[in-house]
Homo-oligomer: A and B are copies of this chain.
Amino acid sequence: MRLLVINPNISESVTALIEAEARRSMASGTQLTMKTAPFGVAYIETRFEALIGAYAVAQVAAEHAEGHDAVIVAAFGDPGLGGLREVLPMPVLGLTESALASACLLGHRFSIVAISQRISAWYREVVEANGLVGRLASIRALDQPLPGIGSVQTDHAQALRALCLRAVEEDGAEVVVLAGAPLAGLARTLRGELPVPVVDGVSSAVRHAESLVALAPGKATRGSFAPPPLKPNAGLPPAIERLLQRR
């Protein structure tokens, strides 16, 4: 099983966090390819940054997906996920939908703990787009500057743990989702310290990717997740153009 994990941001330090947690989570036979977006921003907090990240992910996936059994879009918010699911022949997973799938198997209502206030409204929209806002207990987020995006989870360890506890005690969270690739691995660190199950996007996505490959449910050839109909295009990066022409 060969797995391509794409960081839609340009931060190699975050890619390293993702890779570390992916390696800790994956089955022994899984082979990992890590890619970092060649353009974009340090970390995605907004819809506009997600728009850029989506295009970067599309380009990386178009260039590198071939030969892999599954692809993971490794930013919370899942930039580009729906589109890639149409166009790639293998399963594609995002951190948000994977974390939510795990959370839904562990309790009825979940809270999301995130790295910045700014990110919260957009995350809420992503939960809405997943049709799961009825199970969202709350989104709580750090309210402090983030000097190093690769060290958020250590710089703010106490504050993040406190947010988790408040989600449980004040918002009724039955599961806590630690959101955002910069927090990859924190769920593992917090194990045993929180009174409810804790879910991480990266490890969830890796496990669910392996499961989908094993289950082999098939690729859509009809309906809205079939590859886009052939039609004229122009000015696209060669890899994306090849993807659109492939039948």
Contact = CB atoms under 8 A, between A and B. Distances in A.
Interface of A: 10, 25, 27, 38-43, 45-52, 54-55, 58, 80, 82-87, 91, 93, 97-98, 100-102, 104-109, 116, 118, 120-122, 125, 128-135, 168-169, 172-175, 187, 191-192, 194-200, 203-204, 207-208, 210-212, 214-226, 228-229, 231-236, 240, 244
B220 A84 contact: no
Nearest to A39: B235
20 contacts: A10-B232, A10-B235, A98-B105, A101-B105, A104-B130, A105-B212, A107-B223, A108-B121, A128-B129, A128-B131, A174-B220, A174-B223, A174-B224, A195-B222, A196-B221, A196-B223, A196-B225, A197-B219, A207-B214, A210-B211
A42 B214 contact: no
A11 to B, nearest CB: 8
B40 A236 contact: yes
A216 B191 contact: yes
B42 A105 contact: no
Nearest to A196: B220
Given A27-B27, A131-B132, A131-B135, A52 B58 contact: yes
Closest 5 pairs (CB-CB, A-B): A39-B235, A121-B224, A48-B83, A195-B222, A197-B217
